[in-house]
Structure 1
């Protein structure tokens, strides 16, 4: 079964002087994916097992002139004639399709052309070639003239495209289906239409993610992904910067991302910037900023303002909270243990005091309880004491008439009981 498809691959979009098949180019463009133009190098393609290589580059009526790309600056309504050189490096003749198309910026920042089945509406539609099909003898070059006419209502600024030479072939995909393949090689066109320029880059659709660390002493990683859109009329590069701060601007930091490649007017790409060691401060604010930069020998005067956008992300400090919880638990356990020991000591002291009081309340070995109890000497008639404070014997007490066990004699001489 034959699967009908068109896959454009191997397009060279930096015009150089074609070289033998083993040669390389001075400045290769980004790698391709099926269906899209690719790196700036002579392509190898063939509809049969024999290999074929060819190249496309700016030229003149007398041959290649060393230009890397078709670069023009024209007024609206202007017309020019130029030449494109197509070289067959193969040992057999090649029949190629020759046409012009518009350029676009891929989401990864590559310079690309519209697919072969898409009709150009910009600079690709302003190019007129004398013929669509070109047959080139083996190891030969043809310098093909073309005209470029700028419409009178063309918008000022940069317009990009390319001139392509393609070769159709047959390939087999991973499922064993036959696929029609369109291998393309091309040279870039950069046209600036005179008028007022507006170099502007806009940052859109900022998405921020925070990835925490299990180490409570290390911060997490903030990853910001955003779209950089060229909303002006000048092709621009850019320098992205990611700034991150916690509540009230705490722990504010910034980091530069990788420099952005060329973005064509109206084009956009996706950029990603990462920052490590970010403390988890519950709620983080991320600012994505892109400063426009000139491409090639352009001069941006005055420098355009930077594009910026903001987004917030939660950054919960789970490891730190776990450590704090353990410390709080350990502190509570320590305080509780101290309180228990203090309570036990207080109970022991109280018990000792009660025991002392109980022992003090008991008279030891027949001693007068009143003396033991309150420490006061016995009252008169209860034994008495000598003048020096020592207890007096009963005989002495009787001799002094202090023994209350005998009757006393009053002045009448009568006994009283």
Structure 2
């Protein structure tokens, strides 16, 4: 079963390389002769030793521009040239067209597939012919016009002019497919008006990976999508911040700088942070600070809005260590209590043995009361009875003797 498909392969777009020749060439590998039924038995298209390049040019040839860069008002029109060079030893017939640019999920610059119709700057370019035939080892400078619609939105519009060579191949499942080898030059057009440089962080996903070492901390991995919601092509610097409850132990780390993101484009990036303390509930925020591309100037600098997420980080190693310490403490206290109980039982047994050897107590006293268990005599703090001072006795004087004598006498008289 044969299945025809359109595959865009081998595209090299100018704009990133310092010279046109450095990135304008695509060299498909030679293919084997077709089989008897007219199909190719291998996955290589029938473009043996075909190499060609596309670069910005002028009526007299390439002028060293890395890309088509323009700044135009809505409604403006210009004429420029694209140079298509055939580096092969045989003539090449190539399809020549313009298309819109897109940002891949990995941050690359690419054009729409050949079967997709452009709606932006690619549709504003007019070429005189859809195909060009270039003799071997020669160049053709093709004029084109670019007309900006009157209602074009302000900001950056990106696309490219492509020269492609179609062929057929057989995929791994044995199906015959159409292969489109493309080489192109970038177009950067800025339409005058108010610029809005904005990058938005979306779909933030955060996870925490703990460490078996309680002193090492864990790793926080944040994956998020950066979308260019403004009208200026931008790069950016992602920053990941992580903190515990109430902002405890907050730290931040910079991620890898982002490549160019076209307006409306997006890419996914990942930032990792090591040595994060597992404080049960962690708050993470991801921010991308927009940065200008090339010689652009962003004035004033755009604001970066963060995206936030929460991740649970249970300190299992710490909890296990704490449990082991608690178990060791409990075992130590239990061992001391056992030793104290054994000592008390030994002392009680010794006392019982002493009472048994002492026999019954004298004078009918309870034999169970040992002499060493009698309560001690408590002495008061005052002086002993024998030590109390003797009161002074007043001895009668002579007057007293006379009075007594008188009384005695009186009594005797009364008797």
TM over 0.5: yes
Q: Aligned partners of 1:281 and 1:356: how far apart in 2? A: 62
2:67 to 61, 66, 69: 69
Q: Aligned partners of 2:125 and 2:149: how far apart in 1? A: 11
Question: Post-superposition shift, 1:361?
Answer: 5.2
Q: Aligned partners of 1:219 and 1:174: how far apart in 2? A: 47
Question: Post-superposition shift, 1:81?
Answer: 0.3
Structure 2 contact 28–48 (Cα < 8 Å) conserved: no
Q: Where does residue 42 of structure 1 map in the other structure?
A: 26
Question: Post-superposition shift, 1:360?
Answer: 4.5
Question: Post-superposition shift, 1:111?
Answer: 0.6
Cα deviation digits, residues 24-47 of structure 1 (max 9, x gap): 44xxxxxxxxxxxxxx64343674
1:11 aligns with 2:11: yes
Q: Aligned partners of 2:364 and 2:356: how far apart in 1? A: 13
Q: Aligned partners of 1:207 and 1:79: how far apart in 2? A: 46
Structure 1 contact 207–226 (Cα < 8 Å) conserved: yes
Q: Where does residue 156 of structure 1 map in the other structure?
A: 154
Q: Where does residue 317 of structure 1 map in the other structure?
A: 315
Cα deviation digits, residues 246-278 of structure 1 (max 9, x gap): 112122111110000000011111010011111
1:268 aligns with 2:276: no
Structure 2 contact 47–167 (Cα < 8 Å) conserved: no
Question: Post-superposition shift, 1:351?
Answer: 3.0
1:166 aligns with 2:164: yes
Q: Where does residue 298 of structure 2 map in the other structure?
A: 300
Q: Aligned partners of 2:277 and 2:25: how far apart in 1? A: 47
SS of the equivalent of 1:7 reads: strand
Cα deviation digits, residues 372-402 of structure 1 (max 9, x gap): 9899xxxxxxxxxxxxxxxxxxxxxxxxxxx
1:234 aligns with 2:218: no
Cα deviation digits, residues 123-165 of structure 1 (max 9, x gap): 0000000010111110010000000000000000000000000
Cα deviation digits, residues 326-367 of structure 1 (max 9, x gap): 11111111111111111111222233334444544536xxx8
Q: Aligned partners of 1:268 and 1:345: how far apart in 2? A: 78
Q: Aligned partners of 2:293 and 2:360: how far apart in 1? A: 109
Q: How many residues were matched structurally?
A: 354
The more displaced of 351-360 and 197-206 is 351-360
1:55 aligns with 2:39: no
Structure 2 contact 20–65 (Cα < 8 Å) conserved: no
Q: Aligned partners of 1:87 and 1:44: how far apart in 2? A: 15
Q: Aligned partners of 2:50 and 2:346: how far apart in 1? A: 104
Q: Which runs of 5+ in 2 are unaligned?
A: 31-44, 372-415
Q: Aligned partners of 1:68 and 1:114: how far apart in 2? A: 21
Structure 1 contact 18–87 (Cα < 8 Å) conserved: no
SS of the equivalent of 1:209 reads: strand
Structure 1 contact 45–167 (Cα < 8 Å) conserved: no
TM-score (norm 1): 0.81
Q: In angstroms, what is the RMSD of aligned CA positions?
A: 2.1
Structure 1 contact 43–55 (Cα < 8 Å) conserved: no
The more displaced of 189-198 and 343-352 is 343-352
1:277 to 271, 275, 278: 275
Q: Where does residue 341 of structure 2 map in the other structure?
A: 343
Structure 2 contact 164–181 (Cα < 8 Å) conserved: yes
Q: Where does residue 2 of structure 1 map in the other structure?
A: 2
Q: Where does residue 134 of structure 1 map in the other structure?
A: 132
TM-score (norm 2): 0.81
Counterpart mapping for 1:105-144 below 5 A? 105-144=103-142
Residues 362, 137 of structure 1: alpha-carbon distance in 2 compared, 3 angstrom cutoff: same
1:195 aligns with 2:193: yes
Question: Post-superposition shift, 1:219?
Answer: 1.3
